[in-house]
Structure 1
Amino acid sequence: MTSITQARPSLTNNDAAVLQALFDAESSPSSGITIDSSLPSWPATVNISQTDLATLKARETQIILKLQAGETPSQETVRTALEELNSLLEQYPTYPPAYTNRAQTLRLLADLEYNQHQPGPQTAESSTDESLFTPEAAELSSRIFADLGQAITLATPVSPADPISSAQARLLADAHTHRGYLLLKAARVKKSLSGLEGEAVGPERLRGHSADQLEEMASRDFFFGGRYGNKVAQQLAVQTNPYAKMCGAIVKEAMRKEMEG
């Protein structure tokens, strides 16, 4: 790991620490989280008994296994899984993992419904995500963002200083990273379009934001994803941080001038 040291008297210790945090993905994100393996999986606000949690986990596992059977599930299989997840959440609306699994299932449905209409070859990454931000998929993408937001709300501790369980940390890392990735994808799709096409990108809740604003929102989610333990999110938080990019541009320009001089 490369450290930023105090090369000149004008660079204070605080300045060095700030720059180090901006450019080093391993410098801070998860240091403020206390994970206590002795805690129950979910906070008391979830209000589900341990017996019911065991039953819910078993039901959820059965639903997901159906989606994973074979190479690509049919639309009928995905819709059946969604109905089962909807039923589960109607009974237990405070169960966080079902929201993240439903969000992923909705992404799969969007891929099956809209990717088949996309011209040209599709990669595993681009197929789902490009089609997800078409106007036709706005309702599905809106539901995905709603589910990820609800999972985060239910699993986030009341105070940042509160210890959390391992299950909470995993869910929060995954949900923030998932939402950050979708926001970043929306920003890039928006940048590639112009005029009315660009304004129609994604669900309605995102349409009032510019591409740069969406990327900043993604950076915040990546920060929290990294803070809760996702290593990829830690790297993406640095890459999308507007201050890090600004400082990087300044450093590159300074180095260019120094080399030319």
Structure 2
Amino acid sequence: MSAAASFTPSKPSLTTNDSAVLQALFDAESSPSSAVNIDSTLPAHPAHLSISAKEHSFLRAREREIISALASQSTPTRETLESAISELSSLVASHPTYPSAYANRAQALRMLIEAPVPASESSGEAEILFSEANTPHLTTLLSDLGTAISLSTPRSPTDPVSSLQARLLADTHTHRAYLLLKISRQLKNSGNGGDAGIPVRLKEAGPEGLEEMASRDFFFGGRYGNKVAQQMAVQTNPYAKMCGAIVKEAMRKEIEGGV
């Protein structure tokens, strides 16, 4: 049981449904992660992806070989990252239904975007993620996360998922949520040209729309097992924030009234 406050009906009494809603809004652990049926006996990937156990073994080994080049360096060079991205792109091209390759290419792209650049090439921007030069990388990164999620998501919410499938969904939803929240905050705080590198379709969603999208992704990341995503889902939930503001205002008035 979470340490979060429980909502018990009192006068005026809350309906059972109201109590459940409030509990879900403020208690991250009340999110329906128990509704996800993780079956460790299932094949790694859903049947509709048509990836056999033998093929998965080969793909996993090849993927590890590519990633090991990044892990061998404490701070991978741009050349190493670009090489890994190129090899992962080849893997995606030859096996377009293998979700993990998309997820790992997204991570490598993120590392490339944030990798140090020579001072002579630096734009001096505080947030390199949103530099105009990185727009193609950011667009591909978000597309890769979307594809990995689409391929891994069960066709029905009640369908069981494998352990690997759940972990992949937890990681990719959380990664995308982090980026969407970061973009939302950049749009809120950007000055002239501060949003030049953000894809147009995301600008059109606006800061609030992006934050809601991030909250949804955090929810699913938490639903599939990411503990940080569970907490962030509560912090970014617009209804929880609204209720929290109401509670704070009520407490303020009560304190002022008692002075």
TM-score bracket, normalised by the shorter chain, equals over 0.9
- Listed one character per residue, the Cα deviations across residues 181-205 of structure 1 (whole Å, up to 9, x for unaligned) are 00000011111114x6365352233
- CA distance in structure 1 between the partners assigned to 2:140 and 2:92 by the alignment: 14
What is the match of residue 166 of structure 1?
163
What stretches of structure 1 of length at least 5 have no aligned partner?
A: 121-126
Measure, in 2, the Cα distance between the counterparts of 1:257 and 1:42: 54
1:4 Cα deviation after fit: 1.4
Is the CA contact (8 Å cut-off) linking 2:110 and 2:141 kept in structure 1? Answer: yes
Q: Return the match for 1:28 from 28, 31, 34.
A: 31
Contact 1:5 1:16 in 2 (8 A): yes
In structure 2, distance between residues paired with 1:192 and 1:175: 26
Question: Of residues 116, 125, 129 in structure 2, which corresponds to 1:132?
Answer: 129
Does structure 2 conserve the Cα–Cα contact (< 8 Å) formed by 1:85 and 1:102?
yes
Work out which of the residue numbers 169, 173, 178 in structure 2 matches 1:176: 173
In 2, Cα distance between the equivalents of 1:49 and 1:28? 33
CA distance in 2, matches of 1:198, 1:131: 10
Distance 1:115 1:147 in 2: 27
Q: Residue 204 of structure 1: which of 200, 206, 212 is its match?
A: 200
Is the deviation greater in 43-52 or in 152-161? 43-52
> Who is 1:107 aligned against?
110
Percent identical: 58
Q: 1:70 to 1:113 in 2, by over 3 A?
A: closer
Partner amino acid, structure 1, of 2:26:
F
| Partner of residue 187, structure 1 | 184
Residues in 2 aligned to 1:115 and 1:190: alpha-carbon distance in whole angstroms: 27
8 Å Cα contact 1:181/1:218 also seen in 2: yes
Check whether the contact 2:130–2:194 (CA below 8 A) recurs between aligned residues: no
Deviation at 1:150, TM superposition (A): 0.2
CA RMSD across the alignment: 1.7
Structure 1 Cα separation of the partners of residues 252 and 223 of structure 2:
34
Partners of 1:140 and 1:23 lie apart in 2 by 36
Change (3 A) 1:81 1:87: same
2:58 equivalent to 1:55 = yes
* Secondary structure in structure 2 of the residue aligned to 1:26: helix
Once the two structures are superposed, residues 185-238 of structure 1 have per-residue CA deviations (whole angstroms, 9 ceiling, x without a partner) of 0011111114x6365352233121211111111000000001111000000000
Contact 1:39–1:165 under 8 Å retained in 2: yes
SS at structure 2 position matched to 1:209: helix
- Which of 234, 243, 254 aligns to 2:230? It is 234
Instruction: Report the equivalent of 2:85.
Output: 82
Residues 131, 78 of structure 1: alpha-carbon distance in 2 compared, 3 angstrom cutoff: same
Q: Paired residue for 2:48?
A: 45
| 8 Å Cα contact 2:142-2:176 kept in structure 1 | yes
Does the Cα contact within 8 Å between 1:200 and 1:207 map onto a contact in 2? no
Q: What's 1:221 paired with?
A: 217
Which residue of structure 2 lines up, in the alignment, with residue 93 of structure 1? Answer: 96
Aligned equivalents of 1:200, 1:6: Cα separation in 2? 50
The answer (yes or no) to whether the contact 1:46–1:94 under 8 Å persists in 2 is yes
The code of the aligned residue for 2:97 comes to: T
Distance 1:184 1:82, change over 3 A: same
Residue type of the partner of 2:101?
A
Moved more, 175-184 or 185-194: 185-194
Residue identity in the other structure for 1:223? F
CA contact (8 A) 1:29 1:226 kept: no
Question: Which runs of 5 or more residues in structure 2 are unaligned?
Answer: none
